[in-house]
Amino acid sequence: MSNLAWQSAVEWFLGGGGSAALTLRANMALLLMGVACFAGGILLMIQHRREWIESLGDRADSRTRRYEERKFRRRSLLASMISSAGCVMASLYWLVEPRLWATMMGVLLLILVGIVGIAFLDLFSVSLREISQPNPEAQQEMVRTYLELREKRRQEQAAAEEKTPAEEKPD
């Protein structure tokens, strides 16, 4: 039934004869998206491993190394979950039984919720790390601005005192 709906939409779009060339089905779209997710997850794993190895070569302190290792583990887990979501999406192409299909969709939704949850935790962790790191350039700029404003305020106060007449004190 749904195959006829797709064919009629394609016939309306192409004007008739091209429906055999472009019969789109939802299962085929899931298969292609699944393969793309699987490939994207593998490429993310490779990229995160490159970044981790690069961070090990920087001769950073032990705190930074531990942070980079935890970040690598979190991001590798996310990449593997993306790949597994791709496998689940691709496997839906071959499923016929409705209960099994619904079960696999439930598994896919759980994987996606896990991906979103871990991604938010990763963002939170990275932002906390950035906040906790001192920025010497910004600190120097802040001190310089403070000193300039303090000197400007002193000059304004001195100018204001010169303008007001000095009152003589009684002996």
Per-residue pLDDT band at 161 (split at 50, 70, 90):
confident
Spell out the residues 6+ positions from residue 81 whose beta carbon is closer than 8 angstroms to its own: 41, 111, 114, 115, 118
56-67: pLDDT as tens digits: 876 777 878 888
Q: What is the pTM of this model?
A: 0.62
Q: How many CA atoms lie within 13 A of 66 on its CB side?
A: 4
Spell out the residues 6+ positions from residue 91 whose beta carbon is closer than 8 angstroms to its own: 34, 104
How far is the C-alpha of 2 from the C-alpha of 142, rounded, in Å? 65
DSSP state of 87: H
Q: Per-residue pLDDT averaged across 155-169, rounded?
A: 76
User: Of all helices (H) and strands (E), which one includes residue 47?
Assistant: helix 26-56
Per-residue pLDDT band at 20 (split at 50, 70, 90):
very low
Per-residue pLDDT band at 151 (split at 50, 70, 90):
very high
DSSP string, 151-171: HHHHHHHHHHHHHSPPPPPP-
79-96: pLDDT as tens digits: 999 999 999 999 888 888
Averaged confidence pLDDT in the chain: 81
The neighbour count for residue 38, using CB atoms within 10 Å, is 19
Would the pLDDT of 2 be above 80? no
Would the pLDDT of 42 be above 90? yes
Q: What is the pLDDT of residue 153?
A: 93
Would the pLDDT of 18 be above 90? no
